[in-house]
Structure 1
Amino acid sequence: MFRSVSDDVICLEELSRGDKIETVVNVYESADLVRGQDPNTGTEDANTRGISQTQQTESHTKGSRFYRLTAVCLGLLCVLLLTAIALLWIKTYQLQTNYTSLTMERDKLQTIYITLTTERDKLQSSYTILTTERDQLQTNYINLTTERDLLLTSYTNLTIERDLLLTSYTNLTIERDQLYTSHTNLTLEKDRLPTERNKLQGKLSEIEKANQKGWLYFNSSIYYISTEKKNWRESREDCRRRGANLVIINSRKEQDFIEVLRRGQWAWIGLTDSASEGVWKWVDGSALTIGFWKADEPNSRTGDEDCVITGYVSDPVKNWADYSCKDDFVWICEKRIFS
């Protein structure tokens, strides 16, 4: 299109140049006519007119050619202008179509933008509401946590108080039970007192009678030392007939009392290893826990020394010795009065 327009401009320039040439030719011809107005030169004028007519004929021929060329150029120019107008209309239509499409797309985008803006506002509003609810929930959570801690503290304090009360209750229950037990025991003791008093009176009477028969009272028991001598088994049988048994010595005080009671005599006591050699037991079956043996006793010097006498040496404490149960010595009986 731009190339056609350029061709049209060149054609117009050529037409203008032709007009200028024709104008110059006419001017020169007019000047010659003015200079040639002399009466003596008529023939020259006729010749000149002939030449002028010839030149005018040529000029008219050139003018006709020029006009035809001008008409052709104008036609081409019109065709080019129509073509340019058609192209411009097509281009304008395309641009209008594109403009319409873009406008529709713009409107769609505007609608989408408005929709998205509305949704964004809704989301913003929802976010604000959710944020407010979250803050409220956070506040409620903090309040509930505080209340829970207070409740836990109260629960702990109540638990401690409950435990203290339970402990107090348990202690009071124990004390009550102890008081009941004490009351029961006191009641039983009160009920037993007459019986115990009667028993005690009976035992006192027994002690008095025993004293009259040669028995001596010491540390809840009465003791009797014989006036005759017998072997260990016969001595034990005599004690049993008297409701007693051979003496059992379980303390230093009792040993000292027996030392006074025997009055320097060798006397049988209720200790033997006849059941098992070397295993000394009292006549009630209890094991020997404290002994007052002479330094080298027991020794089974004669080979059959399964019974024990006290007072074997002058030492008032360590004076026990093992002897044959067949030997005859005085004996000491013991009868438990008070348990």
Structure 2
Amino acid sequence: MELDSIYQNFECRNTEDTSEPQTLNHRQDEGKDEKCRGSRCLVLMTVCLGLICVLLLVIIIFITAERESLVKSYKNTVEEINQTINSLQDNYTDLTQKKLELETRVNDLSAEKSQLQRSADSLSQKNLELETRVTSLSDELRKTSKQVFFFISHESKSWSESRQYCRDRGADLVITNTEEKQRFISSIVKESVWIGLSDIETEGRMKWVDNSTLNRGFWSNGQPDDYNGNEDCVELNPTQDPGNNWNDVPCSDKRKGICEKN
């Protein structure tokens, strides 16, 4: 149909351009002109429709490409969001675990703090009790020994020589027959010293230098043992428990003596 229209259009142009004298009447000329104009309109409409189709095709292709691009971008965005969500969930799980661990640690530290506080309170109480006891012992000792003083020999000698050292100075080896006096003497000496106790006269019968019999001893664990049957004199060792620091040793051993003068 388009070829017929183009041919008719071409025929119309040829008819208009001819130089031959017109033999048709005026009505035929007008009909032919209308037919030519219709053919040109049809061609123009066909071209316009073709252009519109091409434009629509381009638009459709463009929209399809954009749609595919948007769909792809949407999928990528969704995937990134999902990855981000998964990562956040993992982080949240890790943080929750760390929070639980920290809470457990805090609870443990709180328990340890409470235990340490109780221990500190107990030690403070014991310290107060000891201070009170020391003060009491000091007061008692001052009351019972207002006219007594003690001194230590300058040289290490045998038990008999140390006793003679004391006697030459109007004193004698110390008699520690009470717990208060025992603890006081233990607190003022820094090394093992002779005290005025022995069983030189009668084996197994300890006597003080004033000839009084021993009623209470402050012996170290396992003492006296009279090792080799030759340990008849008594030393006081301040590095041990003040209430249990006596030991029997040979009287010939060298020690400094602690003297007591009334």
TM-score w.r.t. structure 1 length? 0.34
Indicate the structure with greater helix content. Answer: 1
Structure number with greater Rg is 1
| RCO higher in structure (CA 8 A, sep ≥6) | 2
TM-score w.r.t. the length of structure 2 is 0.44
